[in-house]
Amino acid sequence: MHTQMSNFEVLFTEGHARRGRLKLAHGVIETPVFMPVGTYGAVKTLTPTDLENAGTQILLGNTYHLYLRPGLEVLGAFGGLHKFMNWQRPILTDSGGFQVFSLGQNRKISEDGVVFRSHLSGDKIELTPEKAAEIQRVIGSDIAMVLDECVALPATQEQLDQAVLRSYRWADRFLKEPRLKGQQIFGIFQGGTDIELRKKSLGLTLELPVDGIAIGGLSVGESHDEMIAVLEGVAPHLPPKLPHYLMGVGTPLDILEAVNQGVDMFDCVLPTRNARNGGLFTSDGLLNIRNQSHKLDDKPIDLECSCETCRGYSRGYLRHLFLTKEILGCRLATVHNVHYYHRLMLGIRSSLEAGTFRSFYEQWKPRLRAAYASEKSTDSVFGSGAQQE
């Protein structure tokens, strides 16, 4: 196996759950960790300083979007995404595959790769494993993801089987490409909700020199319970010495459950996208700041929260900003939601350090289920959970 796996250290475990530490080119990150999504080289409305203040250790950048804008010429000239966007801490980039597959009719898959039309210019563009590796080298991310074939669920057995084999062959080609110094490369396994196929895909992926393993093909249409069932099925087989990344997930409840099954890393657009729609995360569920009930409320979003927004601004003022379409409202809401996710991860990490994760889990699972899974009103806000911001 690959020698770089020593970059990841598991400090504490409790059941499948792990408290780990991952050394990357731009710094060390403490896991379990949540990565805010900065599609175009910016987490919408926030500066790098805001992100650091909110507790962000590592960002996710979208290869597909960055390849279209600003493109490799600009990213190359600026010496990569870190310098371009003035972010000093680690960055993980997806491979662009997920976005390309979500283009639907506008892309054509072959063994060589995916040909698609830019959603901006209409230009025909080819994404191959070699190209995905090149783009991520130019971006200079700390963690690059292999190009995989992602299948929307439900799918036929043949579609799932083929995606597993093709993803393996593409990962193999990706990993044979030149490697940027210090850049780690994570493999991705597929298999839909079929546990046996998942185990086969995981085994194939681990034949390759990967620095981490990602669970792909979830958060693509299946239910929360189906997703958790997959995690339960694969958890005993995940490589103990590599970091485990669940792509594009999820709600606070999803994250708690996934940590309980041994997942170390997460990314999702929920906190940032909800913020711009006026949906604010609290211990009691998603709060719609536009509601009339907040009109005269001088309390912060969450009395327990110490973010910049909760320290300085009332619900009544935030509601006013949303009703008047003031950009500052989106910004202050984003600060809060990102902080909420990081605080959840901090709580999880602290309980693992103290050996009390089991009770943390038992305490928070019903609260988060009540807050984020049982209410119909949250479904439309949560949407599809797609990785693109």
> Should residue 354 be labelled a site residue for its own copies when binding is judged by CB under 8 A?
no
What is the distance between the alpha carbons of residues 361 and 265, in angstroms, rounded to a whole number?
17
DSSP assignment of 234-275, as one string? Answer: HGGGS-TTS-EEETT---HHHHHHHHHTT--EEE-SHHHHHH
Q: Give the shortest CB-77-to-its own copies separation in angstroms.
A: 5
Residues 85 to 124 in contact with its own copies, rule: CB under 8 A: 85-86
Q: Give the shortest CB-212-to-its own copies separation in angstroms.
A: 29
Total number of residues that touch its own copies (CB under 8 A)? 36
Q: Which of 94, 211, 264, 302 is catalytic?
A: 94
Provide the 8-state DSSP code for 211. S
> Should residue 298 be labelled a site residue for its own copies when binding is judged by CB under 8 A?
yes
Give the residues across from 31 on adjacent strands. Answer: 20
Assess whether 302 carries a catalytic annotation. Answer: no
Residues 31 to 70 in contact with its own copies, rule: CB under 8 A: 40-42, 44-48, 69-70
Q: Give the shortest CB-41-to-its own copies separation in angstroms.
A: 7
Assess whether 94 carries a catalytic annotation. Answer: yes
> Should residue 77 be labelled a site residue for its own copies when binding is judged by CB under 8 A?
yes
H helices of 313-389, in order, are 315-323, 327-354, 357-372, 376-382
> Should residue 328 be labelled a site residue for its own copies when binding is judged by CB under 8 A?
yes
What is the distance between the alpha carbons of residues 212 and 185, in angstroms, rounded to a whole number?
7
Instruction: Answer left, alpha or beta for residue 30, where phi above 0 means left and psi between -120 and 50 means alpha.
Output: beta
> Should residue 330 be labelled a site residue for its own copies when binding is judged by CB under 8 A?
yes
**Cα torsion for 249, 250, 254, 257, to the nearest 10°?**
50
> Should residue 316 be labelled a site residue for its own copies when binding is judged by CB under 8 A?
yes
Residue 133 · residue 144 · CB < 8 Å: yes
Q: Which of 148, 161, 194, 267 is catalytic?
A: 267
Give the residues across from 187 on adjacent strands. Answer: 213
List residues near its own copies by CB under 8 A.
Answer: 40-42, 44-48, 69-70, 73-74, 77-78, 84-86, 295-296, 298, 308, 312-314, 316-317, 320-321, 323-324, 326-328, 330-332
Question: Among all residues, which ones are annotated catalytic?
Answer: 94, 267
